[in-house]
């Protein structure tokens, strides 16, 4: 073999190589055929097979993208985490409800492949569609969840229309009327922990408008704390409720909305998690505008620390 081949190959790869140059494992974005062609053009005898062997011997490998970059961290990120934790602890000590809320991943309804495996007779796998094209008759399922941090109890409403702030707050209201008021008959406030984006985002006017309506209907003070941008995976509902729902229905096509509701409601854990679920067939139009005059009627009191993330919406007096 040409003794100059390895050096010539490394010279071709190095300008486009990625990763830590001191690491024993490197990777390149050039194909072995392209590299072999370039080497032949330089007068070397090389094939894509030989290039692959040389790259492997030099510590290169084929690797896929990996999601690790979240962008610049907010300087108050850790302080907000501590603030939320303090608020939750204090709320629970007062025997008042503290809930974590969010929208779970939207799901196609129908005989579509669902990730994971389940026990079935040998040679008899569940048949599912080859292509994941939306079934216009069945549509999508939009699960919005409420996780009670003090009682390890979940509530999920499965919507069929749009994931809007009105849908999110209506789910919280359903939780309160069905489970919350029974568990906390003397409650005067509810602490709501939510992400900064989505239908319950800190900048969504409709979210705050609907929360005011909820506060008026229940006469509860609604204390809201938002996680900083890019930190939704730390929201307790993700790994205390949603992850177990995904495990429970793994490997099963979500054939109908009724199937989804039943599977969610059957979710249990060894440490006592229970889940209630219902279907919301209501319509929630998108792009609802809340005017400045309407915003002025909201009884919103911002916390001293990061009032854009932490605030209380008080009910109007009856």
- The reported pLDDT for the residue numbered 181 is 97
CA 202 from centroid of its chain's CA atoms: 16
First to last CA, the chain: 90
For residues 270 and 87, the model is more confident at: 87
Cβ-contact 5, 44 below 8 angstroms: yes
Do 127 and 113 meet the contact criterion of CB atoms below 8 Å apart?
no
Work out the average pLDDT over 279-305. Answer: 96
Contact 314, 213 (CB under 8 A): no
Mean pLDDT for the stretch of residues 258-270: 91
Q: What is the pLDDT of residue 252?
A: 67
- The number of angstroms, rounded, from the C-alpha of 120 to the middle of its chain's C-alpha atoms is 30
At residue 118, does pLDDT exceed 60? no
- With bands split at pLDDT 50, 70 and 90, how would you rate the model's confidence at 261? very high
Convert the pLDDT of each residue in 134-193 to its tens digit. Answer: 555 677 889 999 999 999 999 999 999 999 999 999 999 999 999 999 999 999 999 999
pLDDT tens, 12-47? 766 544 444 444 444 555 678 888 888 888 888 888
**Mean predicted lDDT score pLDDT of the chain:** 83
The reported pTM is 0.72
The pLDDT assigned to 30 comes to: 67
Please say if the pLDDT value at position 57 is more than 90. no
Q: Which has the minimum average pLDDT: 5-19, 138-152, 207-221, 225-239?
A: 5-19
* Amino acid 198: pLDDT: 93
User: Residue 232, Cβ neighbours under 10 Å: how many?
Assistant: 16
Rg (CA), the chain: 27
Beta strands in 23-131 (DSSP E): 26-28, 60-61, 98-103, 107-108
> What pLDDT score was predicted for residue 19?
46
Q: Which residues, in sequence order, are bridge partners of residue 275? A: 154
| Mean pLDDT calculated for residue range 267-278 | 93
């Amino acid at each position: 073999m040409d003794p100059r081949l390895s050096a010539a190959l490394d010279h071709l790869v190095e300008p486009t190589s990625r990763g830590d140059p001191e690491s024993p494992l490197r990777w390149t974005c050039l194909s072995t055929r392209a590299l072999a062609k370039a080497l032949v053009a330089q007068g070397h005898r090389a094939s894509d097979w030989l290039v692959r062997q040389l790259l492997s011997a030099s510590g290169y490998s084929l690797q896929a993208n990996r999601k690790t970059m979240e962008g610049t961290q907010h300087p108050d990120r850790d302080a907000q985490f501590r603030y939320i934790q303090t608020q939750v602890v204090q709320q629970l000590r007062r025997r008042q409800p503290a809930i974590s809320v969010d929208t779970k991943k939207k799901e196609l309804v129908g005989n579509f492949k669902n990730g994971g495996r389940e026990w079935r007779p040998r040679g008899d796998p569940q048949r599912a569609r080859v292509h994941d094209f939306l079934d216009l008759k069945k549509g999508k399922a939009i699960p919005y969840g409420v996780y009670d941090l003090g009682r390890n109890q979940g509530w999920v409403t499965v919507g069929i229309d749009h994931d809007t702030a009105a849908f999110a707050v209506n789910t919280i209201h359903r939780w309160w009327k069905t489970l919350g008021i029974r568990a906390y008959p003397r409650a005067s406030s509810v602490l709501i922990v939510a992400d900064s984006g989505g239908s319950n985002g800190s900048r969504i006017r409709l979210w705050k408008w609907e929360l005011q309506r909820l506060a008026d209907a229940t006469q509860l003070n609604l204390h809201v704390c938002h996680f900083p941008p890019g930190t939704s995976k730390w929201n307790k509902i993700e790994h205390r409720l949603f992850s177990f729902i995904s495990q429970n229905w793994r490997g099963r096509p979500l054939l109908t909305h009724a199937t989804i509701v039943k599977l969610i409601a059957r979710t249990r854990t060894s440490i006592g998690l229970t889940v209630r679920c219902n279907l919301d067939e209501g319509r929630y139009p998108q792009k609802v505008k809340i005017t400045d005059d309407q915003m002025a009627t909201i009884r919103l009191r911002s916390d001293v620390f990061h009032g854009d993330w932490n605030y209380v919406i008080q009910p109007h007096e009856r």
